[in-house]
């Protein structure tokens, strides 16, 4: 695994990891992963680690990004607005542009894979790409995706969510009672999630709750739909049957419906027995979805 840093804008340094495929193919695209609110590039270790039984890195080059303020990435210190969806999408676009100009990793195209908040960032990233980069997008995989439309929580609920990552006990309670089916999360994964959640900057934590969640990116999707000029982009959308963060019915209505209306070729699957942390709870389901988009 290679560790890299890229300065995207002043005061923002984006960390990402690259795992190069063990076998190569002239038609194999790069897989690029974006994590959920509270996660990091490590959230995808079951998909990217060469020692994982579910790894995709044996056949695909993979890149996993720490979004600004999470993992090893840093961002501006002035306002939580700097951690909303659009600035994060701009960072991702700049990472892709950097990879395009300095490596051959995306010569065969790119599959963008986003989880929850990262899925909303994925959709917003499309509008930030140059025409040459947009032409390289071969498909999307959206895992328990946050919708492109605004979600405004009652003030009491918003305040509760802001406290979810205050300390180890609160993170553990949130993971066991809200984010996952606890029996599907190993102790190692629990420790990783706790570490990731606690090391996220306060501005990054607030950025999603106060701004990113409420951001409306549907106009950006309209613009992308026009720029695609009728080209069908495959999208696989996954929802957890027991997810109480992104309910499967809302995902079908707000995400699947929105993309289908804009000409994307969408496949929707509900995974039984899991909640929100699908990359950790059902890595095999994620791998299948990715392979289905590549095929």
Q: In the predicted model, is pLDDT for residue 154 greater than 70? A: no
pLDDT of residue 135: 95
Rounded distance between C-alpha atoms, residue 210 and residue 219, angstroms: 20
Q: How many angstroms separate the CA atoms of 118 and 257, rounded? A: 19
pLDDT of residue 183: 82
Residue 157 has pLDDT above 70, yes or no: no
Please give the pLDDT value at position 1.
Answer: 87
Of 3.40.50.1820, 3.20.10.10, 3.40.190.10, 3.60.150.10, the CATH number of 2-294 is 3.40.50.1820
Choose among 37, 2, 64: nearest CA to 210.
37
pLDDT band (50, 70, 90) for residue 220: very high
Q: Residue 15 in contact with residue 4, Cβ under 8 Å?
A: yes
Question: Across all residues in the chain, what is the average pLDDT?
Answer: 93
pLDDT over 70 (residue 156)? no
- Residue 181: pLDDT band with limits 50, 70, 90: confident
Cβ contact 15:66 at 8 Å: yes
The pLDDT tens digits for 198-216 are 999 999 999 999 999 999 9
Beta bridge partners of 268: 237
pLDDT in tens, 69-100: 999 999 999 999 999 999 999 999 999 999 99
Q: How far is CA 152 from CA 62, 156, 220, in A?
A: 34, 11, 19
Phi, psi of 64 (to 5 degrees): -120, 125
Q: How confident is the model at residue 125 (pLDDT cuts 50, 70, 90)?
A: very high
- Span 49-76, pLDDT tens digits: 999 999 999 999 999 999 999 999 999 9
Domain assignments of the chain as residue spans, ordered by start = 2-294
Average pLDDT over residues 18-30: 82
With 70 as the cut, is the pLDDT of residue 275 above it? yes
Q: Is a pLDDT exceeding 80 seen at residue 152?
A: no
Burial 247-283, CB ≥16 within 10 A → b, else e: ebebbeebbbebbeebbbebebebbeebbbbbbbbbb
pLDDT band at residue 235, thresholds of 50, 70 and 90? very high
Report, as an integer, the average pLDDT of 267-293: 96
Q: How confident is the model at residue 153 (pLDDT cuts 50, 70, 90)?
A: low
């Amino acid at each position: 695994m290679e560790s890299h840093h890229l300065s995207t804008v002043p005061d923002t340094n984006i960390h990402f990891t690259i795992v190069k495929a063990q076998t190569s193919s002239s038609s194999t695209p790069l897989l690029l992963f974006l994590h959920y609110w509270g996660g990091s590039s490590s959230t995808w270790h079951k998909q990217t680690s060469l020692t994982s039984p579910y790894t995709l890195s044996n056949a695909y080059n993979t890149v996993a990004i720490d979004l600004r303020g999470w993992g090893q990435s840093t961002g501006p210190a002035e306002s939580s607005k700097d951690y909303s969806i659009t600035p994060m999408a701009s960072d991702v676009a700049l990472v892709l542009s950097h990879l395009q100009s300095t490596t051959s990793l995306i010569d065969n195209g790119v599959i963008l894979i986003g989880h929850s908040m990262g899925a909303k960032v994925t959709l917003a990233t499309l509008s930030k790409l140059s025409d040459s980069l947009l032409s390289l997008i071969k498909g999307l995989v959206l895992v328990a995706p946050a919708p492109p439309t605004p979600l405004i929580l009652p003030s009491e609920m918003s305040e509760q969510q802001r406290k979810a990552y205050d300390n180890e006990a609160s993170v553990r309670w949130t993971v066991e009672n809200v984010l996952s089916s606890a029996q599907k999360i190993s102790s190692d994964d629990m420790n990783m999630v706790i570490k990731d959640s606690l090391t996220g900057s306060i501005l990054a934590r607030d950025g999603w709750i106060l701004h990113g969640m409420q951001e409306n990116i549907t106009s950006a999707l309209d613009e992308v739909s026009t720029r695609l000029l009728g080209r069908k982009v495959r999208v696989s959308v996954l929802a957890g049957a027991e997810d109480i963060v992104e309910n499967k019915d809302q995902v079908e209505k707000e995400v699947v419906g929105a993309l289908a209306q804009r000409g994307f070729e969408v496949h929707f699957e509900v995974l039984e027995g899991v909640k929100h942390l699908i990359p950790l709870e059902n890595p095999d389901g994620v791998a299948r979805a990715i392979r289905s988009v590549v095929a």
